[in-house]
Structures are given as structure tokens and as C-alpha cells.
Structure 1
Amino acid sequence: MKKLLALTALATMATGALAQDFPGGKPITIVVPFAAGGPTDRVARDLAEALRKPLDGVSIVVDNTAGAGSTIGNAKVARAKNDGYTLLLTHVGMATTPVLYRKLPYNYETDFEYLGMINDVPMTIIGKPQLEAKNFKEMREWIGKNPGKVNLGNAGIGSASHLCGLLFQNELKTEMTTVPYKGTAPAIADLLGGQIDLLCDQTTNTTSQIEAKKVKPYAVTTLKRLTTPALKDIPTADESGLKGFQVTIWHGLYAPKGTPAPVLKKLNDALKVALKDPEFIKKEEGLGAVVVTDNRVEPAEHKKFVMSEVARFGPVIKAAGAYAD
């Protein structure tokens, strides 16, 4: 018994020493389960820079492990050594993959330590330049007159635009012809060319197109208008008659299950500092994203929020039969 107690004490001391020294100059890797250059990758790279100072200037590397709707990268972190040096930064997919995929190589509830929320990214409902509808009301009437004939694009099953499109159709109680693409870029290209009629996608992907007046913006999916110069005059779907309609694509930070509590606290404290960094805030605002300042930056509240998102998206995905496998 004494030997067991001694070993336990030594293990506790070792964990405490690791946490006290963390990160100790050793590089930290943030796994992004999507390709480089996309909106989640941009958030990760901006956050990595903002995290360096509160983490003693340590080097932070972004590792893009894309594929299978984010599940490959997620699984990589779930299996990683739980010492705080491998983290996951992903979006709302943390809450939707459990419904989209019937079998996952990880458990979203038990295989991760939830570190905190990073931002909320609003969506925009935009149309091809050839559409005659001048506003949301006219666009909605046009959809109603053409049931099943309206082509609604998305960046692929499980993408932000796919989820927004499902909720949009559910709210309108009208079915559209959904057209999935392998990414946002080809979807927007076909929208510009008139091959599809509508797209609901993140401000990180659509703001430049709206600013250049290449597409027709009909609504933003927040309850309040956005303050970004290019988007401030676009009405919300809520004020345009779709009461309560709200869709944001958020990002969060995670560590493998079992990461020592003192290390988790250091990471969460660093995240809170990073989210107040003026340069980081400026970069996020430039993308139309809103940095989180509420209690979702706390691990327990972040996890509680993700569970509520699973409950929210689950019935819509199931009703649409939109499974990825």
C-alpha cells in the first residue's frame, strides 16, 4: 500500500511539474481538419499568432489534416498524446458529425477536453446576379412560386452552407433542389455563372463577393445587423419576416481527453487573453466574424453549448436524410 501511495504521489508530482513548466519552449500543434486556405484554417492561423504571447512565445504550428468532413483530423487529435501539445480547432462540425455520420472513430462527448469557444461566423443568403428579386421578400415569393425548381448550392454534405441550407428550407417549409459541390469556391463560381440560384454561406467566404457587387445579398443570419462595412446595410432574415432565424458557424478549441487539468487551465487562460488581442479581433472583424466574449469561453459552458447544437441540428439533418455515409 505504501509503495502504491508513493507511486501515486510521484505521478502527481510529475503531472504538476509538467503543468508548471508547460509549454516549456516545446512547439504546440493545432490540428485543423480542413484544407489550408479555407475559413477555419484562417481562424486557426490568426489564433495561433495571438496565442504565442500568453504561452511564453512558444512556436505554434497549424497542421491541416483534411478529409471525411473533418472526422480524420478530429480522430487524429482524439488519439494524440494528452500532454497539451496537440490541439484541435474546428467549427460547428463538432456538433453535426455525430448526426451526419452513423459511425465515428471517436466520441465527441468523451474523447476531448473542451477548451472554449473562439468566434461566431454569421452566414449570408446570396443569389446569382441574374435574379430579378430585389429583396428578401421578393426572393421568398419567387421560391414559393417555383417549388422544387430553385437550385440551392452548398460546399458539400456537412459543410456550413449545407447546414444553413437545410435550416433555411426547414424554416420556409419549402423544398429546393440542393446542389453539393466539393468546396465553397466551385459553388460560388457556379453562382456567379448562374448555374445555381442561391447559396447560404459564411461571411468569410461571401463578403468580398458582396463588396464587389458580384452577387445579390438578401439577408444575414444573425438577429442583429452586422457592423462590417460591406455587410452593414444587409437586413437580417429575422427582420425580413423569417422570425427567429439565426445560424452562425462557430469555432472552438479542444485537447485530447485526459490532458492534465493545470495544462488545460493554462491553455484556457491563454485563449482568453488571445481573444482580447486587438489585432486578432481586427482580423476576425475583417472576415465578418464576431469574437466570443460571453461565458462560452469557459470549458463547461462551451461543452454545454455544443450539446445544445447537437440537439438543434440533429432533427433537421435526420428529417432531410442528409447522411454522409
Structure 2
Amino acid sequence: MLRRRFIAAGASASALASFGVRAQQVTRLLVGATPGGGTDIVARALAQELTTRLGHQFIVENRPGAAGNIAALAVAKAPTDGSTLLLSYTSHAINASLYPSLPFDPQKDFTPLAGIASLPAILIARPTLPANDVRELIALAKREPGKLNVAIAGMGSANHLAGEMLKRDAGIDIVGVPYKGTGPAIADVVAGQIDLAFAGVATVQQLVKAKRLKALGVTSEKRLAAFPDVPAVAEVLPGYAYSSWYGLFGPAQMPAPLVARIADAARAALGSELMRARFRDEGLVPMGTGPDEFGAFVRSQGLLTLFKGSRSSPEPAHQGA
């Protein structure tokens, strides 16, 4: 029995080595955001599952700044042996539209491994806004063009894009006000200093239930189970749908067997009851797409022109954390 265990352990180590992953290796999972946020939460849940499934340690390393570009650059320059990976989010595809001189190519310098999760948003409003749903909001914005404002919790974020899509599809003029984080943006909507914001479900659901915010619509194609009385924006603007997303990347030119091994482990991790429960608590929807499908998805997300000509205040309205 003991001999068979040694043989099995040796075979496992050999298999890992053949894929460019040493059994004793530690894989750094870089996150371009601060600890405690949505990206960090997804990364830590995934790292725990990958450690179990691939037989070596995955550790999360936070490198916030520049809308995720600092972490992305480190991975773009990393070895192709699976020792450094990136858990990125929507801005990975958007940043090329916002930063004309990126030090890397968001598509050519990375290997897409797996789509991990998506997160619909809720369009919320200050409690005193004289509109109770998207239809009334559009009518109000058309009566008073340029007078309403919407908080942007991070330039280039998914919530920023959701707001630009709403303005484009509805043909309305609402001024974007950049913030440095979701917390201060939502706080100002609650306080009535800002009219509107898009936010993740988990971030605002308690405030909505306590009637400290109005929920005008959700960005998913259909109504959310957690808010059955809140209509989807698509009920007023057919075809409107947007969710932020989280995905796993490696540097370009990773060996195909290694790509398959990591991608399979990531998708299997999404079947873990512990991970699915964590995602439900955060309002996340598992994606589970593999390298080809996820790569095509990222390319489609990069074809953005919505930010050109958008009206935004030049400086953040609030610097708080």
C-alpha cells in the first residue's frame, strides 16, 4: 500500500512537471484591485479551489492601481509556466479605449483561461428623485437634459459602461461624476448629493430593502430573483443588458496542455458547493467558459466606442475610500 502511494505521488508530480507546473511551485494570482472588493473576493475563492484541485498553492497578490493595468502588465511579462496568473475584470477589455498608450496589448499579450463569474448591476437613485422606474427616469432626463448626474465608481468600470449604454440607448443627457470607489459613490447617492449610480447587487441590496435607495432597474436580461419587483432595463429599452465579469488569464504563449489543465480546474471549481454558495451571497453568476469561448467574449467586449464624447466631470467628486 505504501509503495503504491509513493508511485502515485511520483506519477502526479511527473504529470505536473510535464505541464510546466512543479509540485512545489506557488502560483501567484495577481489582482488589480484592493483587498475586500469583488475581484479580490472572487480571486480568493478561486485560489482556494485551485490549490486543492491542482496540488500546489495558489496565493492572491493584490496590485491595485491604473484600473487593473499594473497587475496586468506584471502578468504580461511573466514566464509562461503558470507561476503567475491574472484574475481580472471588465476593465481589462475596456482599458484600451481609455488608455491610448498601454504598455501591453490586452488581447495579444495574454492567454484567456476561463470566464469565472458575471455580476448584474442595479440602477439606484437617491430616495427623493422624482422617478420610480427607468421609464420615468428617461422622461425626467428628457424634460431636463444635462441636469441629472450619475456617479461613476471608477473610470472604465463596468458600472461606468452600463451608464454610458443607458444614455446611448435612451437618447438622454446625464452628466457622469467620477469617484475613486464604490463606497463614496453610493454614500453620496444615499445622502442625496448624487442622483444616480449603478452598483453590484450585493453592494446595495440592504440599502434598497431599507428604502435608503430607490432601485429603478436591473441590468440583467430578466428580473433578478432577489428583486422580483424591480424591472429589467430591457423591459423599457429592448436589447439592453450588461453585467460586469471576472476572468482568469495567463501570459501569452502558454503551453496548450497547461492551458487545458488550469482551465479545466477553474471550471470544475465553479461546481464546488462552497464556491457556488459564496457566489450566491455576493450576487455573482458563475460563467464557466473555457479558453476559446472566453477569449471570443473578451474580444467582443473590447469593441467599445461608448466613452467617446461622454460628459463627465474632470475630477472625482469624492476622494474617500
TM-score (norm 1): 0.87
Equivalent AA in structure 2 for residue 303 of structure 1 = G
Partner of 1:154: 152
Aligned to 2:132: 134
What's the CA shift for 1:32? 0.5
> Corresponding residue for 1:9?
none
Q: Which stretch shifts more, 119-128 or 158-167?
A: 158-167
Equivalent residue of 1:292, what SS? strand
Q: 1:291 is matched with which residue?
A: 286
Partner residue in 2 for 1:3: none
Secondary structure in 2 matching 1:170: helix
Structure 1 residue 148: deviation in Å? 0.3
SS for the counterpart of 1:246 is coil
**Which residue is 1:270 aligned to?**
265
Unaligned regions of 5+ residues in structure 1, if any?
A: 1-14
Matches of 2:215 and 2:86 in 1, distance apart? 33
% same residue: 34
Q: How many residues align?
A: 300
Match of 1:36 in 2: 35
Q: CA deviation at 1:226?
A: 1.6
- 2:5 is aligned to none
Indicate the residue corresponding to 2:51 in structure 1.
52
Residues 16 and 262 in structure 1, CA contact (< 8 A), matched pair in contact too? no
Note the 1:6-21 alignment, pairs <5 A: 18-20=17-19
* Cα contact 1:160–1:201 (8 A) shared by 2: no
1:52-100 deviations in Å (ceiling 9; x for gaps): 22112x3221111011111111001111122101110111112101111
Determine helix, strand or coil for the equivalent of 2:240: coil
User: For residues 260-280 of structure 1, what are the alpha-carbon distances to aligned partners after superposition, in whole Å with 9 as ceiling and x for unaligned?
Assistant: 222211101101110111111
Match of 1:7 in 2: none
Task: Report Cα offsets for 1:204-251 as digits up to 9, x if no partner.
Answer: 422232233321001101111222x3x233211112x11111011011
> How far off its partner does 1:197 sit?
0.3
Rounded Cα–Cα distance in structure 2 between residues aligned with 1:119 and 1:95:
15
- The one of 169, 172, 181 equivalent to 2:170 is 172
Q: 2:181 aligns with which of 159, 180, 183?
A: 183
**Equivalent position of 2:247 in the other structure:** 252
Question: Which of 281, 298, 304 is the aligned partner of 2:296?
Answer: 304
TM-superposed CA distance for 1:194, in Å, is 0.5
Q: State TM-score, norm by structure 2.
A: 0.88
Task: Point out 4+ residue stretches in structure 1 off by more than 3 angstroms.
Answer: none
**8 Å CA contact 1:221, 1:237 repeated in 2:** yes
Structure 2 runs not aligned, ≥5 long: 1-13, 315-321
CA distance in 1, matches of 2:20, 2:90: 33
* Paired AA for residue 46 in structure 1: A
Write the letter of the residue equivalent to 1:205.
T
* Map of 1:320 onto structure 2: 310
What is the alpha-carbon distance in structure 1 between the residues aligned to residue 15 and residue 50 of structure 2?
Answer: 22
Alpha carbons of 1:23 and 1:292: their partners in 2 closer, same or farther (altered >3 Å)?
A: farther
Q: What code does the residue aligned with 1:300 have? A: D
Kindly tell me: are residues 263 and 319 of structure 1, through their superposed partners in 2, closer, same or farther at Cα, counting changes over 3 Å?
A: same
C-alpha displacement at 1:23, in angstroms? 4.5
Matching residue's letter, 2:40: D
Partner of residue 226, structure 1: 224
